[in-house]
Chains A and B, each alone.
Chain A
Amino acid sequence: MIHVRDVSKSFTLHAQGGIVIPVLEGARLEVAAGECVALTGSSGSGKSTLLRLLQGNYAPASGRIEVAGLDLATATPREIAALRRDRLGYVSQFLRVVPRVPAHDVVADPLLQLGVPPAAARERAEALLSRLNLPQALWSLSPTTFSGGEQQRVNIARGFVHPYPVLLLDEPTASLDPLNRAVVLDLIREAKARGAALVGIFHDREARDEIADREVDVSLFAAAP
């Protein structure tokens, strides 16, 4: 489902005299359906950079990044948008939403974008929120004022509301209590069981050991400075 070959990525900071920060060189990654791969490596080695490249959020300098059949290095913006709509899910560390939109609508939104009728979308969203133990009193409130762990659960629900064949997870258990952490690990196991390909960053070592089939050390792709 994911094929990354010879990908390099650097950042040029024009405002700072055009310094170039090389991050990745010759990065490779293969992830099959039903597999969960954890990205590891020291801080600053490029784990988030690689995840963002897989999401289409960063542009690779060279190489091929094939996700669910689309090469992100050459895809048009609209092709990437379409990929994200139905094939590529992403649980980010940050919640970015229009203020005032209630939590259950934030979660249902990806389904509405896919044309799922509002009532059905809302129902699936609420089922996930309840599974993630978000108090029902919060569902109709905007998550902008939620606690870190509550916001994270909204993000997770949004990422799992549609059965995306590829799912990227950036620290999905970071600010969760043990109970909810276990729910998230179950969701990941279920996604694997239905054949999703997952790539994640888990600083939580036990979580990683429990659900990752393999680890890929991103430091191996460190670009020479």
Chain B
Amino acid sequence: MMENTQFQDDAPLLKVRGLTRSYWARTGCAEVDLDVWPGEVLGIVGESGSGKSTLLSCLAGHLEADAGSVVQGGEDVLRLPEPARRRLMRTDWAYIHQHARDGLRMNVSAGGNVGERMMAGGARHYGSIRDTAADWLQRVEIDPARIDDRPTAFSGGMQQRLQIARGLVTAPKLVLMDEPTGGLDVSVQARLLDLLRGLVRDMGLAVILVTHDIGVVRLLADRLMVMRHGRVVEAGLTDRVLDDPQHDYTQLLVSSVLPA
């Protein structure tokens, strides 16, 4: 009955140590340490400019880190040769952008968007690619009859769900998300959160989720990290960090939102 693998997996999927990136004299992120395990969501919050996107971009390889290591399976991802690193981002990892249009090809059909990532991961058979794409559209609650529509014909919430389908179709182990629910209205957000919770549980995904929304992390994140001026000021169990914050900055952040 308790075959769920998240209990046995005691080694973290990802170990980040000392991750640092500056922009000339300005700090992006500094000496960030974090671990993520399969089947859990790590939330990252902090004021604007605190270094959340810099951190995520360094992890994803969109930005080069100045120092630090990002170890997965005994290997420092930051030191992988470029082709191996790109392969990783195309299959084992997924990055969900805040603006769906940055993560989608807007002039390619919905099915093509999902299929393209499968092909990048090695899939070749057209019929099965199309079937899997249709199945994923269904899983993110997009009518498969719209498989040939372009994302430009979709609402913001649908585009975001399509981006998630595209990212998850290769069954990645790690998903990086920068404000995935920003700019969506509350009911669309709720739908997306519910979907993500189910996928984390069913696929054993590890998720690093950057957001401004304390309500979202309370519902979705198992653990929470608070950043300020590029550094981690507090980290721990999400509800403990939010309900019994120790650091003065965390107290300020929590007190400036209405209770959920």
**B190 pairs with A96, CB closer than 8 A:** no
Distance of B197 from chain A, by nearest CB (Å): 7
**A101 pairs with B37, CB closer than 8 A:** no
Beta-carbon contacts under 8 Å, B25-83 to A: 37, 40
CA distance A52 to B239 in the complex (A): 11
CA distance A60 to B2 in the complex (A): 31
**A115 pairs with B37, CB closer than 8 A:** no
**B244 pairs with A59, CB closer than 8 A:** yes
A205 at the binding interface (Cβ < 8 Å) = no
**B255 pairs with A15, CB closer than 8 A:** yes
Distance of B34 from chain A, by nearest CB (Å): 12
Contact with A along B226-240 (1 / 0, CB 8 A): 000000000011011
A138 at the binding interface (Cβ < 8 Å) = no
The one of B3, B193, B220, B240 that contacts A56, using a Cβ cutoff of 8 Å: B240
Beta-carbon contacts under 8 Å, A92-111 to B: 96-101
CA distance A43 to B92 in the complex (A): 53
Give every chain A residue within 8 A of B190 (Cβ-Cβ).
Answer: 98-100
Count of A residues near B, CB < 8 Å? Answer: 27
**B197 pairs with A58, CB closer than 8 A:** no
CA distance A169 to B27 in the complex (A): 46
**A115 pairs with B240, CB closer than 8 A:** no
CA distance A81 to B2 in the complex (A): 16
Beta-carbon contacts under 8 Å, A1-27 to B: 11-15
* Beta-carbon nearest neighbor of B246 in chain A: A59
**A14 pairs with B194, CB closer than 8 A:** no
**B197 pairs with A98, CB closer than 8 A:** yes
SS class, residues of chain B in contact with chain A: helix
Contact with B along A61-86 (1 / 0, CB 8 A): 00000000000000001101110001
B126 at the binding interface (Cβ < 8 Å) = no
**B251 pairs with A115, CB closer than 8 A:** no
The one of A14, A77, A100 that contacts B237, using a Cβ cutoff of 8 Å: A77
**B7 pairs with A80, CB closer than 8 A:** no
Give every chain B residue within 8 A of A147 (Cβ-Cβ).
Answer: none
Give every chain B residue within 8 A of A59 (Cβ-Cβ).
Answer: 240, 244, 246
CA distance A116 to B237 in the complex (A): 24
**A100 pairs with B194, CB closer than 8 A:** yes
**A96 pairs with B248, CB closer than 8 A:** no
Distance of B11 from chain A, by nearest CB (Å): 12
Give every chain B residue within 8 A of A96 (Cβ-Cβ).
Answer: 218-219, 260
B257 at the binding interface (Cβ < 8 Å) = no
The one of B2, B222, B236, B246 that contacts A115, using a Cβ cutoff of 8 Å: B2
The one of A13, A14, A78, A99 that contacts B37, using a Cβ cutoff of 8 Å: A78
**A97 pairs with B219, CB closer than 8 A:** yes
CA distance A80 to B220 in the complex (A): 17
CA distance A52 to B251 in the complex (A): 18
**B2 pairs with A15, CB closer than 8 A:** no
B191 at the binding interface (Cβ < 8 Å) = yes
**A114 pairs with B4, CB closer than 8 A:** yes
6 A-B pairs within 8 Å (CB atoms) are namely A11-B244, A56-B240, A58-B240, A59-B244, A96-B218, A99-B190
Task: Known A-B contacts: A12-B246, A80-B240. Give 17 more (CB < 8 A).
Answer: A14-B251, A15-B252, A56-B237, A57-B239, A57-B240, A57-B243, A57-B244, A78-B37, A81-B40, A82-B7, A97-B219, A98-B194, A99-B187, A112-B201, A114-B1, A114-B4, A115-B1
Binding site for B on A (CB under 8 A): 11-15, 52, 56-59, 77-78, 80-82, 86, 96-101, 112-116
Binding site for A on B (CB under 8 A): 1-4, 7, 37, 40, 186-187, 190-191, 193-194, 197, 201, 218-220, 222-223, 236-237, 239-240, 243-244, 246-248, 251-252, 255, 260
